[in-house]
Amino acid sequence: MSKKLIELKNISKSFGSTLVLDELNLYIRENEFVTLLGPSGCGKTTILRIIGGFETPDVGSVFFDGEDITKLPPNQRQLNTVFQKYALFSHMTVADNIAFGLRIKKKSSSYIEEKIKYALDLVNLPGYENRMPDSLSGGQQQRIAIARAIVNEPKVLLLDEPLGALDLKLRQEMQYELIRLKNELGITFIYVTHDQEEALTMSDTIVVMNQGYIQQIGTPESIYNEPTNAFVADFIGESNIIDGIMLKDRLVQIGGVSFECVDTGFGINEPVDVVIRPEDVELKDPEGGMTTGTVTSIIFKGVHYEIQVESAIGINFMVQTTQNFPIGCHVGISVIPDNFQIMHKPQSEDEEIMSAEDYSAGNAV
């Protein structure tokens, strides 16, 4: 297992009267691709700026490879940042943009020339040395911004929503480019986004945030398949989130009907949130379902249909399936026990936005 490279301890940060981060603890391992994911205002960019040295925490410490760097300025940290707005110098050639940091460090001309060629080859833009930034597409400009960062040989690359200004196809292409770069460079990537697909596609580890608190940390698979609360389930992909009652271990009641599940450890007749992913709802002949329903809408999404079904138990199910069920069709609805995800309901507003107690002592990645 890789060693801890970055550690944030008891970080709190306010802007005016607004508390953005509250006693946050997090560590990041060497050579990981870690994504900070959450809605606008959740604190993810503030974490990135604190790691980069652009913001100082009100309380807490930042450690890099075991050294306290809380008060170290950005130019003395072994990391570089790539922003959403590429911040290229419009009056400089591509080569001059890439070489800017190296010239400040007074590197030799031969070293700089070699590094420019290496960086352009790495981002698949060889021969672009003499081009001007305004002659490049958005994706090419973003690659130059990444090239400018990596020639400085940082141990960590910070990326603040770097693909947000690109169109969908180009954004998807750049996602694969970033994965390739991470694997080839062998450095740590810390990536900020509110795009769930980006996070699931690229990350080794995802840190899901809401209102300054870490909600869940895990692999893309564990975050998607085993969300710890309704916020994570709703934010990562589509979900049917339903009020239920856990009658006993492995038996949940929804809309007055009992369904077998695999969850244990809940109280008898405990109110719970039941999460069912749309792809886990199976539509079949009415007599073969656990309950029945009527199709009320259908949208073709390319790889599947997204169907709304009003069930006989009073719950509106979202269903994703490759089968076409016309509006008005009477169907059976089934969910296998493994595909019910049962969650404790939050007991207070604070609990609703805070992560589980497991994270309060140390949000470990």
Helices (H), the chain: 44-52, 94-104, 109-122, 138-150, 168-185, 196-202, 220-225, 230-235, 349-353
pLDDT tens by residue, 106-134: 999 999 999 999 999 988 899 999 999 99
* Amino acid occupying residue 15: F
Could you give all domains of the chain from N- to C-terminal order, each with its CATH number? 4-227 (3.40.50.300), 230-345 (2.40.50.140)
The DSSP H or E segment spanning 261 is: none
Reported pTM: 0.86
Extract the tokens encoding 178.
């970033």
What values do phi and psi take at 296, rounded to 5? Answer: -110, -20
* Amino acid occupying residue 341: Q
Contact 27, 8 (CB under 8 A): yes
C-alpha to C-alpha distance for 313 and 327, rounded to whole angstroms: 19
- 84-93, 230-239, 243-252 — which is least confidently predicted? 84-93
pLDDT tens by residue, 315-365: 999 999 999 999 999 999 999 999 999 999 886 555 555 544 343 333 444
